Chain A
């Protein structure tokens, strides 16, 4: 295996989830400001959000099995810290946002419909105040996820355009593992 590239399964999960999460952020923010599209968007929001929750669990396991390739040796400690910190934050938010969505609908006393008669069980007892609190948390965490995503995208582009250290290619190349990206400095 190439040590400077994420394995194909990691790259697949990354780009699939990137598209899903970005779509979910737009669906979420759009549905709460649209009378006409609210219902069909929310009907899509719930199952897609639950799919993200399942995928992030798969992804965390995959990440433990296949650790990320080493960062370039000359990368300054402050940037390494930012990279690791933002990745931990992204994972935390990818779990928290859909979990809070599920929990808040539970506390709100709603059936959590995925598709047709397929429903999730509640994970919290009904409680109006808990619902209100979690509903606010869902918005705040989703906006935090959007902000973290923007920072992550900006950092990825910094690697690609300014640092040119192969970190971008470690996730963004499509070929097989043998066409190696520019090698990091040792």
Chain B
């Protein structure tokens, strides 16, 4: 006991006493599991776990590292305009963006490749990313692609597909056998690819229609939750793409045409919400919903401004598909949380890197995008 010790003796650690030894062991026994659990939860003990960092590394392996640019959909241009809601969406969602009225929108058109300087004619998929600024300060961010379904059901499948398409170090080109093996092992992806190939791509950005692919849930004021997918259906007449062979004509032809089109006047899309029914799978973006599903026209997107990526505009926005207003919620689609995580990692990396000007610039001789009033 302490009674026969001098003052402060109980704090002495040396010469070592039994109590000190036992105490230190006990402390180790308490601390080690905490540190171990922390390391486990943080993935430090499982280098094979597919995390957002590894997935973004995958994009970098396939496309190279292009500092300051998005790790996917790297080549793009900023747009702005508004969404005019017709009020039809209120039955589905309580989000104020669906009340009759106008919501300001900014966005970004891009090609779905992680190479910021790739010639347009070497790309297939086009995308439209949007950010709606709701009047109560909320935001709705959504990213849409001009394909009917997504080629992978889970993030793991997506990663395998991405890596199967990575250039072979020996030849510098993807190995077709690896892609074949992937599709053989994933019949749902093969079926999705067939649907993607069956539908011709549009000539440009303005006549393309874009799909959310992932399912979400809309919740209305009464609390009814409905599975939905949404699309931006072009008002410009659809013209199927004819292949443009290399050379300088192909470099930025998609973006040049878009810039010229917006210079002529606003471009419009109808926001169509597809209403899922009992039995429609929400957790599989490779599966289309039946053509007969009700599609509600909830308003018009009007894009009347285009500008090159630069500080503070769409360049510095993370179009995270899970930035949603009250009234829109994620579904059980496993891609959604994975996309949110991966976009955050991509955004974090590129935000801290030095920036180079985007390949897509607005030429001087294009007339002002928004014609002055009265003209």
A116 near B326: Cβ-Cβ < 8 Å: yes
A128 near B316: Cβ-Cβ < 8 Å: yes
Separation of A74 and B305 alpha carbons in the complex (Å): 74
Does B337 interact with chain A (Cβ within 8 Å)?
Answer: yes
Residues of A within 8 Å of B315, CB to CB, are 128
In the complex with contacts A39-B340, A108-B318, A33-B41 CB distance below 8 A? yes
A109 near B316: Cβ-Cβ < 8 Å: yes
Residues of A within 8 Å of B340, CB to CB, are 38-39, 42
Q: How many residues of A contact B (CB 8 A)?
A: 50
Residues of A within 8 Å of B37, CB to CB, are 26
Does B10 interact with chain A (Cβ within 8 Å)?
Answer: yes
Partner of A132, one of B49, B337, B344, B351: B351
B338 near A164: Cβ-Cβ < 8 Å: no
Residues of A within 8 Å of B55, CB to CB, are 35
Partner of B38, one of A26, A37, A132, A165: A26
Residues of B within 8 Å of A153, CB to CB, are 30-31, 34
B 24-48 binary contact with A (CB < 8 Å = 1; else 0): 1011001100110110011100000
A 76-119 binary contact with B (CB < 8 Å = 1; else 0): 10010000000000000000000000000000111101001101
A132 near B11: Cβ-Cβ < 8 Å: no
Q: How far is the CB of B353 from chain A (nearest CB, A)?
A: 8
Q: How far is the CB of B133 from chain A (nearest CB, A)?
A: 9
Partner of B42, one of A29, A135, A185: A29
A 150-172 binary contact with B (CB < 8 Å = 1; else 0): 10011001100111110000000
Residues of A within 8 Å of B155, CB to CB, are 35-36
A-B contact number at CB 8 A: 142
Nearest residue in A to B133 (C-beta to C-beta)? A111
B 294-317 binary contact with A (CB < 8 Å = 1; else 0): 000000000000000001100111
Stretch at the interface among B15-23, B77-85, B168-176: B15-23
A74 near B20: Cβ-Cβ < 8 Å: no
Q: How far is the CB of B52 from chain A (nearest CB, A)?
A: 6
Nearest residue in A to B39 (C-beta to C-beta)? A29
A29 near B337: Cβ-Cβ < 8 Å: no
B352 near A132: Cβ-Cβ < 8 Å: yes
B 173-210 binary contact with A (CB < 8 Å = 1; else 0): 00000000000000000000000000000000000000
Q: How many residues of B contact A (CB 8 A)?
A: 59
Separation of A128 and B312 alpha carbons in the complex (Å): 8
Residues facing A in B320-374 (CB within 8 A) are 320, 322-323, 325-326, 330, 334, 336-338, 340-342, 344, 347-348, 350-353
A185 near B19: Cβ-Cβ < 8 Å: no
A111 near B137: Cβ-Cβ < 8 Å: yes
Separation of A97 and B126 alpha carbons in the complex (Å): 39
Residues of B within 8 Å of A31, CB to CB, are 341
A162 near B50: Cβ-Cβ < 8 Å: no
A35 near B137: Cβ-Cβ < 8 Å: no
B22 near A161: Cβ-Cβ < 8 Å: yes
Residues facing B in A65-83 (CB within 8 A) are 73-76, 79
A108 near B351: Cβ-Cβ < 8 Å: yes
Separation of A75 and B351 alpha carbons in the complex (Å): 49
Nearest residue in A to B155 (C-beta to C-beta)? A35
B351 near A129: Cβ-Cβ < 8 Å: yes
Residues of A within 8 Å of B52, CB to CB, are 32-33, 35, 38
Separation of A127 and B43 alpha carbons in the complex (Å): 30
A 134-156 binary contact with B (CB < 8 Å = 1; else 0): 01100000000010001001100
Does A133 interact with chain B (Cβ within 8 Å)?
Answer: yes
Q: How far is the CB of A144 from chain B (nearest CB, A)?
A: 14
Residues of B within 8 Å of A38, CB to CB, are 52, 337-338, 340-341, 344
Partner of B337, one of A33, A40, A79, A126: A40
B27 near A154: Cβ-Cβ < 8 Å: yes
Residues of B within 8 Å of A76, CB to CB, are 8, 11
B23 near A162: Cβ-Cβ < 8 Å: yes
Residues of A within 8 Å of B22, CB to CB, are 161
Separation of A133 and B337 alpha carbons in the complex (Å): 24
* Closest A-B pairs by Cβ, 9 of them: A132-B352, A33-B43, A38-B341, A162-B23, A161-B23, A29-B42, A35-B338, A39-B337, A117-B326
26 contacts between A and B (CB under 8 A): A25-B38, A26-B37, A29-B38, A33-B42, A33-B49, A33-B51, A33-B52, A33-B53, A34-B51, A35-B51, A35-B338, A36-B334, A38-B341, A39-B341, A42-B340, A108-B318, A108-B351, A109-B316, A117-B325, A117-B326, A132-B348, A132-B351, A146-B38, A154-B27, A161-B23, A164-B2
User: Apart from A158-B23, A162-B13, what are 6 other A-B pairs with CB-CB below 8 Å?
Assistant: A35-B338, A128-B350, A135-B348, A136-B352, A157-B30, A164-B2
